């Protein structure tokens, strides 16, 4: 018999089959636990949370938890999220997206949700690959590596999700890895409380498809790689571009204020309905 | 003493809890499941619980380490 119930049991849908479908050592479960922990610490009501995903292994996450959840189409989590926040601004709207989901097929929505500054906390689970469909290159797959869709090596340079979010106008941008669970908790907490578009890139491991091209054999190796290759924002400020090549800069990258879209929309509605 | 419980029904034997326990409290048993080998060394840091992708490990902290680290330990 177990002595203590794991906290997650308060939030799991009992109708779902466990263990969950994710492969052994996949990072998605680590993020899921962190999200639940922070929601619990803040005592948010389950009914006030809307958790929205697209399609992909990461997209499976909302299926398991007892919040208001939407499992939408590939790349479209933010479109549903925007509509929900505008229709019912009282709700805490959260999206969970894969790297392919957020910045390949959903790239356009990603940019414009940041530009509009809709109050949505977005978490991009970046495992550098299309996990669900069998290991094809994504926009964050490193240049040169061999993937299911690039048998002679990936010819596309990868891009930086956080820089994209910053340039597009997100007011909170941060990065952690699933190894750095304590930092991850703090960043999730900040993102959930931000009044505007918040983006947290969560560097995660796809042990089944990304391990081989990163030349890392096991989930433990992949998490050691996260540990050894990460540099805090503070340390990174003292390093050159060359020194930071191939490194994961973790921490809060952007935290600024700008009027959010839904607040402006609400005031406009109030003003116009007076006339 | 802190009590670390492993729920085998959900454990996928990924070794993450074993590899990153700062005190080397856990080891793989003959079936490759994590098992507690040095319970007295556990500080109740919760890192094994937080990093388990399958919610298969839970740390039941004793009163002493609860006081030391507080309810928000691991934050
Ligand atoms: C419109 C559409 N195009 C393509 C697909 C096939 N598809 C499903 S998941 C996926 C990519 C998943 O990669 P990512 O978003 O990084 O999530 P991961 O599985 O890695 O978590 C693709 C291309 C789809 N379901 N719908
Ligand atoms: S394929 Fe990759 S991302 Fe999908 S569950 Fe398995 S390890 Fe996780
Ligand atoms: S981290 Fe979890 S799933 Fe992995 S070996 Fe430990 S208890 Fe099992
Ligand atoms: S709580 Fe900390 S010290 Fe105890 S077994 Fe887990 S990781 Fe090791
Ligand atoms: Mg992916």
| Domain residue ranges of chain A, discontinuous segments joined by + | 2-215+252-272
Pick A2-215+252-272's CATH classification: 3.40.50.970, 1.10.10.410, 3.40.50.300, 3.30.420.40: 3.40.50.970
Query: What are the start-end ranges of the H helices in A50-106?
Result: 77-87, 99-100
Distance CA A57, CA A48 (A): 25
Averaged pLDDT, B1-15: 97
Q: Is the pLDDT of residue B65 over 90?
A: no
Q: B58 and A41: CB-CB below 8 Å?
A: no
Contact A180, A224 (CB under 8 A): no
* DSSP code, position B15: -
Q: Is the pLDDT of residue B70 over 50?
A: no
pLDDT tens-digit series, residues A233-246: 999 999 999 999 99
Which of A2, A25, A181 is facing B50, going by the closest CB pair? A181
Point out which residues pair with B58 in neighbouring strands: B5
Closest residue in B to A28 (Cα) is: B53
How many Å lie between the centroid of ligand 3 and the Cα of residue B26?
A: 11
Rounded to whole angstroms, how far apart are CA atoms B62 and A3? Answer: 12
Taking the centre of ligand 5 as the mean of its atom positions, its distance from the CA of residue B45, in whole angstroms, is 30
Burial annotation B26-62 (CB, 10 A radius, 16+ → b, else e):
beeeeeeebbbeeeeebbbbbbbbbbbbbbbbbbebe
Separation CA A175–CA B18 (nearest Å): 25
pLDDT at B64: 74
> What span, in angstroms and rounded, lies between the C-alpha atoms of A51 and B15?
30
Per residue of chain A (275 residues), give pLDDT as tens: 444 689 999 999 999 999 999 999 999 999 999 999 999 999 999 999 999 999 999 999 999 999 999 999 999 999 999 999 999 999 999 999 999 999 999 999 999 999 999 999 999 999 999 999 999 999 999 999 999 999 999 999 999 999 999 999 999 999 999 999 999 999 999 999 999 999 999 999 999 999 989 999 999 999 999 999 999 999 999 999 999 999 999 999 999 999 999 999 989 999 999 86
Please indicate whether residue A185 or residue B65 has the higher confidence score (pLDDT). A185
The residues, ordered by sequence, that sit 6+ positions from A126 with a Cβ below 8 Å of its Cβ are A98, A99, A140, A161, A201, A202, A203, A204
| pLDDT for residue A1 | 40
What is the predicted pLDDT for the residue at B68?
Answer: 62
ipTM of the complex: 0.94
CATH architecture of B3-60: 2-Layer Sandwich (3.30)
Distance from CA of A34 to the nearest CA of B (A): 7
CB pair distance less than 8 Å for A182 and B50: yes
Q: What is the pLDDT, as a whole number, of residue B66? A: 66
Evaluate if residue B23 carries a pLDDT over 90: yes
Cα B35 to Cα A264: distance, rounded to the nearest angstrom: 55
Tell me if chain A has a CB within 8 Å of the CB of B9: yes
For residue A183 and ligand 2, the question of a CB distance below 6 A is answered with no
Distance from CA of A54 to the nearest CA of B (A): 21
pLDDT at B62: 86
Beta pairing class for A198-203 and A172-177: parallel
A68 with A20: CB under 8 angstroms? no
């Amino acid at each position: 018999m177990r002595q203590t119930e794991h906290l997650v049991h308060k939030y799991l849908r009992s109708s779902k089959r466990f263990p969950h479908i994710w492969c052994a050592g996949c990072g998605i479960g680590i993020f899921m636990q962190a999200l639940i922990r922070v929601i619990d610490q803040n005592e948010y009501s389950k009914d006030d949370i809307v958790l929205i995903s697209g399609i992909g292994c990461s997209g499976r996450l909302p299926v398991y938890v007892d919040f208001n959840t939407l499992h939408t189409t590939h790349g479209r989590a933010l479109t549903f999220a925007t509509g929900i926040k505008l229709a019912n601004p009282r709700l805490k709207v959260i999206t969970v997206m894969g790297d392919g989901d957020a910045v390949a097929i959903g790239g356009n929505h990603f940019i414009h949700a940041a530009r509009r500054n809709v109050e949505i906390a977005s978490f991009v689970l970046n495992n550098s690959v299309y996990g669900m469909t069998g290991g094809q290159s994504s926009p964050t797959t490193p240049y040169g590596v061999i993937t299911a869709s690039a048998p002679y090596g990936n010819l596309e340079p990868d891009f930086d999700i956080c820089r994209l979010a910053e340039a597009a106008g997100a007011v909170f941008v941060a990065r952690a890895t699933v190894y750095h669970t304590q930092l991850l908790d703090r960043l999730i907490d900040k993102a959930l409380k931000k009044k505007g578009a918040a983006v947290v890139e969560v560097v995660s491991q796809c042990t089944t498809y990304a391990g081989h091209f990163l030349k890392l054999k096991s989930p433990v190796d992949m998490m050691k790689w996260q540990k050894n290759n990460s540099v805090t924002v503070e340390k990174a400020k003292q390093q050159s571009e060359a020194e930071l090549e191939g490194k994961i800069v973790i921490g809060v990258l952007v935290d600024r204020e700008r009027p959010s879209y839904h607040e402006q929309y609400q005031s406009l509605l109030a003003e116009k309905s007076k006339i | 003493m802190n009590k670390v419980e492993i729920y085998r029904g959900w454990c996928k034997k990924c070794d993450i809890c074993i590899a990153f326990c700062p005190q080397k409290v856990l080891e793989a048993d003959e079936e490759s499941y994590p098992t507690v080998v040095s319970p007295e060394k556990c500080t109740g840091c919760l890192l094994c619980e937080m990093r388990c992708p399958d919610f298969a490990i839970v740390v039941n902290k004793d009163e002493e380490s609860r006081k030391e680290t507080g309810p928000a330990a691991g934050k």
